[in-house]
Amino acid sequence: MTISEPSITPREEWADTGSRQVSSGPDSGIPICLVGPGWTFTSGISYYTCRLANAVAESHETSVIQLRRLLPRRLYPGRQRVGLERARMTFRANVSVYNGIDWWWGRSLARALRFLRARRPGILVLEWWTAAALHTYLVLAIAARAFGISVIIELHELQDPGEAGLPVARHYAQWGLRMLLRLSRGCVVHSKSDWRMLESGYGSLNMRVAVAAHGPYDQYRHSAVEGTVASEAAVSAVRAAPRPEVVNLLFFGLIRPYKGLEDLLGVFNELSEEEAAGLWLTVVGETWEGCTEPARLIETSPYSDRITFVNEYVPDEVVAAAFAHADVVVLPYRRSSSSGILHVAMSWGLPVVVTRVGGLPEAADGYRGAVFVEPGDPAMLKSGIMEAIQMTGQRFADPRDWGETVTAICAAADVAPHLER
């Protein structure tokens, strides 16, 4: 990755993580502390923080500060599962974890600051995805600067789509992110598309910007597929598609308006009987933001007997079972900065139909199993699905590597990374 001088504008210092010469000297493994959500309010960023921490710990002293109670439970769309065990992955033994900071602070914040001061990392990485974390991140960033720690913001998206629809939350997040960026030495984005959005929304910031693709989500391949008694029904459901008699299409992830599940169901419901006879559709996801149209389309579908619908945020063994039983993954997003589900599919080597929105084309760049379609175009979506079906049975290599992200964090902080492979 090319390292720029601090005075150079973000466009000139745009870094490509694939070209940097990596130092492997004994003094280059600067300690790194990550801050992200814990497992009480489990989300995709909870998995991301854990997976990245384990990758960083291969070459750097690593610590993690978790956001334990992310916000008042009644305000969380997935409130019914708060506190339930969903993740089976764990941090490596050499990762120090503080769990964690509560939304209303109390003693939890004071203890986190003591933890941070005791660990004294050289870099503090704040995982940004929601304004719910903003007030805590501002305090941590100010404290880190006082301790002489470089602050890096890793942007998963500039603003949560649900928050963007609420004027107060939208303006609060925009103001707060601007303040965080001013307190930071640099930031990491997952695509050039995200970088352009950052510059468009916040101007030419005097900071270092590094681009690194989302790392591979390969943790589910190691989950115990049989799982627990509580998850056995869901495991059985996602295996309902009779194979090899049919091709099993999988839609996986939170059911939200921007995910485009209605577009997929519209295409599936309009298939001819001959076309539908060779297909099965499995939908797994938790409904957010009152997005109930997909459930209605499934219930009224002429092929409802060929659709499996698991309407919940499922534990890891169900994720493993769903992808192990899938033939093609379909992601008809109407907008997206990045997608953890895309990276799960690529880690399984499955054919993926994905829309050309946001950073998704860059995320899947080099993945030979990707079929790209335009968003909101039923004819193209159907054509893409039919093309991906022809790849059924093939497995493709995932081109992503967590080393890119570790290198990008160090580049944004203007230090030499230490990567051991």
- Domain CATH code at residue 73: 3.40.50.2000
- 189 in the same domain as 102: yes
In a shared domain, residues 226 and 197: no
Range of the domain at 204: 15-213+401-412
For residues 197 and 274, membership in a common domain is answered with no
Are residue 149 and residue 191 in the same domain, yes or no? yes
Identify whether residues 136 and 239 lie together within a single domain.
no
Is 184 part of any domain?
yes
The reported pLDDT for the residue numbered 229 is: 58
Is residue 9 one of the residues assigned to a domain? no
pLDDT at 222: 64
> Rounded to whole angstroms, how far apart are CA atoms 72 and 3?
41
Which residues are CB-neighbours of 326 under 8 A, at least 6 positions away?
Answer: 248, 249, 250, 282, 345, 348, 350
One domain for residues 280 and 140: no
Residues 204 and 336 in one domain: no
pLDDT of residue 161: 83
Distance CA 281, CA 29 (A): 47
Contact 335, 358 (CB under 8 A): yes
Q: Any residues with CB less than 8 A from the CB of 75 and at least 6 apart, and which?
A: none
Residue 132 domain-assigned? yes
Full pLDDT tens readout for the chain, 421 residues: 333 333 223 333 334 333 333 333 333 479 999 999 999 999 999 999 999 999 999 999 999 999 999 999 999 999 999 999 888 889 999 999 999 999 999 999 999 999 999 999 999 999 999 999 999 999 999 999 999 999 999 999 888 888 888 899 899 999 999 999 999 999 999 999 999 889 888 877 778 999 999 999 988 876 555 555 567 889 999 999 998 899 999 999 999 999 999 999 999 999 999 999 999 999 999 999 999 999 999 999 999 999 999 999 999 999 999 999 999 999 999 988 889 999 999 999 999 999 999 999 999 999 999 999 999 999 999 999 999 999 999 999 999 999 999 999 999 998 866 654 4
| Continuous H helices in 300-366 | 316-325, 340-347, 360-363
Is 273 part of a structural domain of the chain?
yes
Q: Is residue 208 part of a domain?
A: yes
Q: Please tell me whether residues 209 and 225 are part of one structural domain.
A: no
For 350, the token pair is 């499955």
Angstrom distance (rounded) from CA 392 to CA 2: 40
Q: Please tell me whether residues 280 and 209 are part of one structural domain.
A: no
Q: What total of structural domains would you count in the chain?
A: 2
Instruction: Please confirm whether the linkage preceding 257 is cis (ω < 30° from 0).
Output: no
Q: Residue 227: what pLDDT?
A: 53
Q: In what order do the strands lie in the sheet with 208-211?
A: 15-16, 208-211, 186-189, 150-155, 123-128, 32-37, 62-69, 95-102
Answer yes or no: do 274 and 290 share one domain: yes
Strand bridging mode 186-189 / 150-155: parallel
Are 224 and 190 contained in the same domain? no
Residues 205 and 343 in one domain: no
Residue 319 placed within a domain: yes
Looking at 220-285, list the stretches that DSSP marks H as alpha helix, in order from N- to C-terminal side: 232-238, 261-269, 273-276
Residue 420 lies in a domain: no
Q: Is residue 230 part of a domain?
A: yes
- pLDDT value at residue 166: 87
Q: What are phi and psi of 152, to 5 degrees?
A: -125, 135
